[in-house]
Structure 1
Amino acid sequence: MKDVPFSAARLLELYDRISDAEDAIPRLRRFVLDLAVRGKLVEQEASDEPAAELLTRIVKEKARLVKAGEIKPQKPIPNVEADELAFHLPKGWAAARLAEVAVCLDYMRKPINGTEREKRIEGKSSDDLYPYFGATQQQGWIDEYIFDEELILLGEDGIPFFDLLRSKAYVISGKTWVNNHAHVFRGILVSNRFFVHYLNVFDYSGRVVGATRAKLNQAKAVDIPVPLPPLAEQHRIVAKVDELMALCDQLEQARAGREAVRDRLTTASLARLTAPDTDAQALPAEVETALSSGNATNTSAFQSHARFALQSLPTLTTRPDQINTLRQTILNLAVRGKLVAQDAGDEPAAYLLKRIEAEKARLLNAGKIREAKAVEPAKPVLGYSALPKGWQQVTVANVAYLRSGVALVHDEEQDSGEIPYLKVADLSLAENDNGIITSSRFVSGERRGDVIVAGSIVFPKRGGAIATNRKRVSKVDIVGDSNLMAMKPFVDGTMPFVKMWFNSFDLWVLNSGTSVPQINNKDIYPLELPLPPLAEQHRIVAKVDALMALCDQLEASLTTTATTRSKLLNALLHEALEPAADELEAAE
């Protein structure tokens, strides 16, 4: 049976069935290439010169080039065995090796390091520079060229050979220079672009060596079995691929536009919940109750925005990564007093603050902490406006003290010992996910004077690790290294709320911005912190924990949905790709 050419209409029909999958368009691009190299994208024409005759002409042309001294003689090339290609060849096609249809020019390539290239191009006009190519793309510029023709580059190392959706080969043209990370092939009487398409879907299993950095040796590259269509059909296939890839570009742009609108709507609807004009002196009860019963006064704006956000959430939240915005909104609402009801029977935060001041004075008198330098309140990290009744606006210096880690001489660190010696990497240990209980190194009890006590919030203070935003509560006494800092509330009962507040903003905004980012005491102590009554703190933390658990469930559900969509996508693409092969096997 003659295969029907794959049209743009069929591509759109297939896309409609798989569009919900996150990687639908990249997979669709791969599908187009799979069809192309199997001869299922355009019709075969009986009038085309058969590939066997083209292969004969290629042999003659290579012999001419060798005789003219333009290429080197090739070693004998073994025939392609019947099972080496992953599909049946259409009528008029032939099987060959890459070395049969192209000449390897690896002996002409030459690597030049970046420093040398910079020296060579310094002060020269862009008109005098030529592109310098590597494994997957252009790496820079150079002041000379090696090649001046259209060529196929196939990555030798450092490329994603086993990632089905990423490129391994590409075409270059004009005056160029190529380094030793890409194999260089000159196609002989063939379409270079057709063979690039094939090399981008070829299965490199068994040809690539190296566990840490995969490498395709030249001997394995030239030996790759390739399908050879008639030359005229190669050109038709390439044209059809261009047409369908252009359509994929349009679908991708449209999808990106929809996702951008969705993200903006999600962000805007959640942001309205924390906007200043939704504040009220009397804030709502727990969100669900407030929306249904109207227990709060002067909160119509908040209720309206919350109702819209809750109703729109299922439609707007379609990817697991979008849950982060929801988590942040929950934290922002919590520290503004918008998540639970205020209780007139709660002891006001002013009384709690007096107890905190008394405990701070006790620790100072006992010499257990040092007095922080006087600080002026900083601009609130989250931009708080009017606080609920009974709350107090304080700074970190009012409610907690800071302690930095220490540097040790190497022989002080031990594989085991009395006190865990925590480093930044230890914040990522699975055992410490729910609180710090161990470390990779330890110190003896002689370092007891440098201990960060249990109940402290530990976080990175230096380098790129600040951007990880890892903040862990220590469940045991530890000694931290000099890249860590800890915050310890004066009153233990306030720690869960202080930790929650600390989680509500990005540590990176506090760093010094120098070549080595750093956070110091002066960056933390002045931060404004809204302090609720202690009883309300406990209600807020409990509500946040419950809502975060729901976020975990929603994220898991979206992940499961994405996995299901991916499996459906695989099935649909397999179904679309294989029917013709199944029909051929049945006929045989």
Structure 2
Amino acid sequence: MNIEAVKSALISLAIRGKLVPQRDDEPEVEQIGEAPKVAPFEIPAKWKWVKLTAISSAPIKYGYTASASAEGNAKFLRITDITTAGVNWDTVPYCKIEKDKENKFLLDSGDILIARTGGTIGKSFLVDFVNQKTVFASYLLRIRVSERLASPVYIQRFLGSPFYWQQVASGSKGTGQPNINAKTLGSLSVPLPPLAEQRRIVAKLEELLEPLSRVQERLGRLTHDFPEQFKAAVLQKAIQGKLVPQRDDEPEVEQIGEAPKVAPFEIPAKWKWVKLTAISSAPIKYGYTASASAEGNAKFLRITDITTAGVNWDTVPYCKIEKDKENKFLLDSGDILIARTGGTIGKSFLVDFVNQKTVFASYLLRIRVSERLASPVYIQRFLGSPFYWQQVASGSKGTGQPNINAKTLGSLSVPLPPLAEQRRIVAKVEQLFSQVDELTARLSS
């Protein structure tokens, strides 16, 4: 269910007079200013079409131009302080404003702010609480509704309707940076019910939207938290031998190198505990130290080029590397890269495609898995398991900037299944991950 679409549909019904019944004892709305020559849609008989400026008690006002500061004589509300959750007034900065300019820009309860430019153009915020002197910034417009004519809450709900957004889209100007000015905003057409009906509409919308918002919040938590928790549980079961059945026709894994003295957890009889370095075909390698450039003789893959969506190779920069050093740092399909420091410490990336000469940067470590012993995809999935992350946390060093080195990484314990079972595990993990991703996409749509 698309909850935003349901909310939009309810607001559309509200501004068309189809959400609450009209009452005979309520007076007809007086026509204030000019109505549009052609009514955008049909409204009840007692309603009127008005311009937004006609129901404002003051001219629509541009905000104050100043620099945000930790100190000043007024709070300074900006576009960036306004989120879907409202405003955290404690984090709103200050500015300095001359005494004779204050009254022009001071905010009061009931004021409505509109973002007039950029990616948030048209978004509105109803000021329902001001606990200290506050002015608003220049990329905002202030509407001050005449409460004799209209409810600020009704107008703010109107400003969330599809009809309002259609008008904003047709009235905004500027191809590079679309914007809406005070004149355009003031000329927007508003379907205005009797004041008492506005309040009944607002009450009904609150009644209907509040449970939808609760459901939306729960779905948000579900789509954010559940997939990661589910995937972590799947990977943990996978590396414990509980995801696919063991087969009698598959050989027992040979013990390679030393096993840990105490097994971290029980694994199937044919599996073995090994160190990561024991299943590597080459020493774990630190990356190359160089400056990224628009030109060079090799692509230069950095931590920042690796995202949850993978690598956009078109945007990976270049570097210059001496011919005799290339082979030490060249990447190949099947290589696994690990972030060794900073906020991304421990995160891994499997190189499955290299279309040109590429080296990796110094804040990455390269693992080259022996494919005679292990599947690189299985190892990369192991590197996403809770057990791996526990080992990284206990093995990383440095309080200011935690890091993991090649020796620590190589000493990590890995539960190793027979090679054929590794492939079956990978296939099952991919299947389950694909299903949860599809479910999450459906819940989010």
* Structure 2 unaligned spans of 5+: none
d(CA) in 1 for partners of 2:359, 2:368: 14
Q: Does residue 161 of structure 2 align to residue 182 of structure 1?
A: no
Q: Does residue 6 of structure 2 align to residue 28 of structure 1?
A: yes
Q: Does residue 1 of structure 2 align to residue 37 of structure 1?
A: no
1:252 to 204, 207, 215: 215
Which residue of the partner structure matches residue 195 of structure 2?
231
Which residue of the partner structure matches residue 288 of structure 2?
406
Assess if the C-alpha contact under 8 Å between 1:451 and 1:479 holds in 2.
yes
d(CA) in 1 for partners of 2:261, 2:177: 49
d(CA) in 1 for partners of 2:143, 2:315: 55
Three-state SS of the structure 2 residue aligned to 1:153 is strand
Q: How has the CA–CA distance of structure 1 residues 244 and 495 changed in structure 2, closer, same or farther, with 3 Å as cutoff? A: closer
Which residue of the partner structure matches residue 7 of structure 1?
none
Q: How has the CA–CA distance of structure 1 residues 551 and 97 changed in structure 2, closer, same or farther, with 3 Å as cutoff? A: same
Which residue of the partner structure matches residue 133 of structure 1?
77
d(CA) in 2 for partners of 1:141, 1:500: 45
Q: How has the CA–CA distance of structure 1 residues 426 and 390 changed in structure 2, closer, same or farther, with 3 Å as cutoff? A: same
Letter aligned with residue 349 of structure 2: R
Which residue of the partner structure matches residue 494 of structure 1?
374
d(CA) in 2 for partners of 1:110, 1:223: 22
d(CA) in 2 for partners of 1:386, 1:45: 73
d(CA) in 2 for partners of 1:379, 1:156: 64
d(CA) in 1 for partners of 2:177, 2:260: 52
d(CA) in 2 for partners of 1:541, 1:461: 26
Which residue of the partner structure matches residue 326 of structure 2?
448
Assess if the C-alpha contact under 8 Å between 2:288 and 2:361 holds in 1.
yes
Assess if the C-alpha contact under 8 Å between 1:459 and 1:472 holds in 2.
no
Letter aligned with residue 171 of structure 2: R
Q: How has the CA–CA distance of structure 1 residues 155 and 108 changed in structure 2, closer, same or farther, with 3 Å as cutoff? A: closer
Q: How has the CA–CA distance of structure 1 residues 461 and 471 changed in structure 2, closer, same or farther, with 3 Å as cutoff? A: farther
Aligned-pair distance for 1:91? Answer: 0.4
Aligned-pair distance for 1:151? Answer: 1.8
Assess if the C-alpha contact under 8 Å between 1:336 and 1:530 holds in 2.
yes
Q: How has the CA–CA distance of structure 1 residues 403 and 212 changed in structure 2, closer, same or farther, with 3 Å as cutoff? A: farther
Q: Does residue 300 of structure 2 align to residue 396 of structure 1?
A: no
1:349 to 238, 251, 254: 254
Assess if the C-alpha contact under 8 Å between 1:379 and 1:528 holds in 2.
no
Letter aligned with residue 205 of structure 1: A
d(CA) in 1 for partners of 2:330, 2:14: 64
Which residue of the partner structure matches residue 10 of structure 1?
none
Percent identical residues: 20
Which residue of the partner structure matches residue 52 of structure 2?
98
* RMSD, aligned α-carbons: 4.3
Q: How has the CA–CA distance of structure 1 residues 475 and 147 changed in structure 2, closer, same or farther, with 3 Å as cutoff? A: closer
Aligned-pair distance for 1:517? Answer: 5.4
Three-state SS of the structure 2 residue aligned to 1:52 is coil
Aligned-pair distance for 1:555? Answer: 4.4
d(CA) in 2 for partners of 1:429, 1:333: 22
Aligned-pair distance for 1:192? Answer: 1.4
Which residue of the partner structure matches residue 120 of structure 1?
72
Which residue of the partner structure matches residue 577 of structure 1?
none
d(CA) in 1 for partners of 2:230, 2:22: 54
* Structure 1 unaligned spans of 5+: 1-20, 60-77, 122-129, 264-318, 358-375, 567-588
Aligned-pair distance for 1:195? Answer: 0.9
Q: Does residue 361 of structure 2 align to residue 481 of structure 1?
A: yes
Which residue of the partner structure matches residue 340 of structure 1?
245
d(CA) in 2 for partners of 1:517, 1:379: 26
Q: How has the CA–CA distance of structure 1 residues 482 and 186 changed in structure 2, closer, same or farther, with 3 Å as cutoff? A: same
d(CA) in 2 for partners of 1:229, 1:168: 21
Q: How has the CA–CA distance of structure 1 residues 388 and 247 changed in structure 2, closer, same or farther, with 3 Å as cutoff? A: closer
Aligned-pair distance for 1:553? Answer: 5.3
1:82 to 24, 34, 38: 38
Three-state SS of the structure 1 residue aligned to 2:431 is helix
Q: Does residue 397 of structure 2 align to residue 525 of structure 1?
A: no
Letter aligned with residue 349 of structure 1: E
Letter aligned with residue 422 of structure 1: L
Aligned-pair distance for 1:377? Answer: 6.9
Letter aligned with residue 126 of structure 2: Y
Assess if the C-alpha contact under 8 Å between 1:457 and 1:473 holds in 2.
no
Aligned-pair distance for 1:197? Answer: 1.0
Pairing of 1:304-453 with structure 2 (within 5 A): 322=226, 324-338=228-242, 339-341=244-246, 343=248, 346-350=251-255, 353=256, 384-400=264-280, 401-409=283-291, 414=295, 417=297, 419-427=298-306, 440-441=317-318, 443=320, 445-452=323-330
Q: Which has the higher helix share?
A: 1
Q: How has the CA–CA distance of structure 1 residues 544 and 321 changed in structure 2, closer, same or farther, with 3 Å as cutoff? A: farther
Aligned-pair distance for 1:480? Answer: 0.9
Aligned-pair distance for 1:524? Answer: 1.5
Aligned-pair distance for 1:102? Answer: 0.5
Letter aligned with residue 48 of structure 1: E
Q: Does residue 424 of structure 2 align to residue 548 of structure 1?
A: no
Assess if the C-alpha contact under 8 Å between 1:378 and 1:526 holds in 2.
no
Three-state SS of the structure 2 residue aligned to 1:450 is helix
Assess if the C-alpha contact under 8 Å between 1:98 and 1:223 holds in 2.
yes
Q: How has the CA–CA distance of structure 1 residues 50 and 558 changed in structure 2, closer, same or farther, with 3 Å as cutoff? A: same
Aligned-pair distance for 1:387? Answer: 3.3
Assess if the C-alpha contact under 8 Å between 1:349 and 1:531 holds in 2.
no
d(CA) in 1 for partners of 2:156, 2:64: 22
The number of residues matched between the two structures is: 410
The superposition leaves residues 388-443 of structure 1 with CA deviations (integer Å, 9 ceiling, x where unpaired) of 334433332443331111122457x735x4x543233554598969xx99955365
Assess if the C-alpha contact under 8 Å between 1:157 and 1:214 holds in 2.
yes
Segment drifting more, 222-231 vs 509-518: 509-518
Assess if the C-alpha contact under 8 Å between 2:292 and 2:300 holds in 1.
no
Aligned-pair distance for 1:541? Answer: 2.2
Letter aligned with residue 39 of structure 1: G
Letter aligned with residue 519 of structure 1: I
The superposition leaves residues 23-74 of structure 1 with CA deviations (integer Å, 9 ceiling, x where unpaired) of 33x4433333222221112222334332225x3xxx7xxxxxxxxxxxxxxx
1:191 to 151, 166, 178: 151
The superposition leaves residues 162-187 of structure 1 with CA deviations (integer Å, 9 ceiling, x where unpaired) of 8xxxx623243555523223211221
How high is the TM-score relative to the length of structure 1? 0.58
How high is the TM-score relative to the length of structure 2? 0.74
Q: How has the CA–CA distance of structure 1 residues 513 and 158 changed in structure 2, closer, same or farther, with 3 Å as cutoff? A: farther
Assess if the C-alpha contact under 8 Å between 2:273 and 2:413 holds in 1.
yes
